[in-house]
Amino acid sequence: MPDAETPDTLESERKALIDEVKKKNNENIVADKMAKTFPLRRKEIVGDRPLVSTLKERWPGLFGESQIKAEFMRITTKPLSATFFRKFDNISHRLISICRSKGGALGKKLQEIMQPLEETGDINKRREVILTALCHYLGEDSSQLISEYLDTTLPEEILEREREKAMKIYVVKKEGGDVSDPPADIGIILEGVDVVSNIRSVADALILIFGLVYAVDLQYPPKLKYLFEVIQKLIMGLEGSGKLSPKVQSLKLKLMV
């Protein structure tokens, strides 16, 4: 607990924080109160393991993009986006080479996934393509994490279709739009709850999900465990970096060549 604070005083701050989140141009006050109430929030999240719906009601400030990054920094002492994109962009060319060297049916699939790299110079699109290829290279399916919809689909329909998923990125594309057009919306669903929307890119959404895993104390999806292991241990350099699964260890050795 901070000096001169008790669970009761921090609970009062939590209640005040709910009102502050509703106000416009109030980011500094929200940030201060979120930092102050961190011990109370972590005790609740780690000790009680509440549902995401309960957390969003009690701690609405936690699900803003800036506060996801701030909470990750409080927990790990590492800046979320800056750390990830610096390392990921540094190894992107090597990841492309590794994926292109793969043979067989998987190699053909990876070539199809990476085709847009020849057609775009947009950094956000390139990151999305490389991350998708990496997921499939690791033997996992990116559709387990990312779902695409047209903007004719109602938000409640998206939630209904994804309500059984522990975590999902949804990408809403404009009907009749060009493939190069930016999505109408990108958001994150956790435990059937729409927690973040209006995200800039799929890569940013993936990193925010990674940050939320720490902020909300979630488990990695079993069908995407290698992708998240690569992010945690090879890219972010977080705990357990010296203990890798054989598949991720193999990728690490190839990245070092």
Of the candidates 6, 64, 72, 76, the one whose C-alpha atom is nearest the C-alpha of residue 37 is 6
Last residue of one domain, picked from the residues 43, 60, 76: 76
Tell me, yes or no, whether 19 and 85 share the same domain: no
**Statement: residue 65 has pLDDT above 90:** yes
Tokens (6 digits) for 157: 């329909």
The model's pLDDT over 153-169, given as tens digits with 9 standing for 90+, comes to 999 999 999 988 889 99
Percent of the chain predicted with pLDDT > 90 = 85
3-state helix, strand, coil in the chain (%, to 5): 60, 10, 30
Overall average pLDDT of the 187-215 stretch: 96
Average pLDDT, the chain: 93
Tell me, yes or no, whether 104 and 200 share the same domain: yes
Buried-exposed string 12-46: b where 16+ CB fall within 10 A, e elsewhere: ebbeebeebbeeeeeeeebeebbebbbebbeebbe
**Statement: residue 119 has pLDDT above 70:** yes
86 is in which domain, residue-wise?
Answer: 81-256
Tell me, yes or no, whether 85 and 72 share the same domain: no
Strand partners, 148: 171
β-pairing, 193-196 vs 146-150, is: unpaired
Q: How confident is the model at residue 235 (pLDDT cuts 50, 70, 90)?
A: very high
Q: Is residue 197 part of a domain?
A: yes
Tell me, yes or no, whether 41 and 64 share the same domain: yes
Sheet strand arrangement including 146-150: 146-150, 167-173, 185-190, 193-196
Q: Is residue 223 part of a domain?
A: yes
Q: Is residue 1 part of a domain?
A: no
Q: Is residue 2 part of a domain?
A: no
Question: Position 102: which residue type?
Answer: K
Tell me, yes or no, whether 125 and 234 share the same domain: yes
Tell me, yes or no, whether 129 and 232 share the same domain: yes
Tell me, yes or no, whether 188 and 236 share the same domain: yes
CA–CA dist 36, 71 (Å, integer): 11
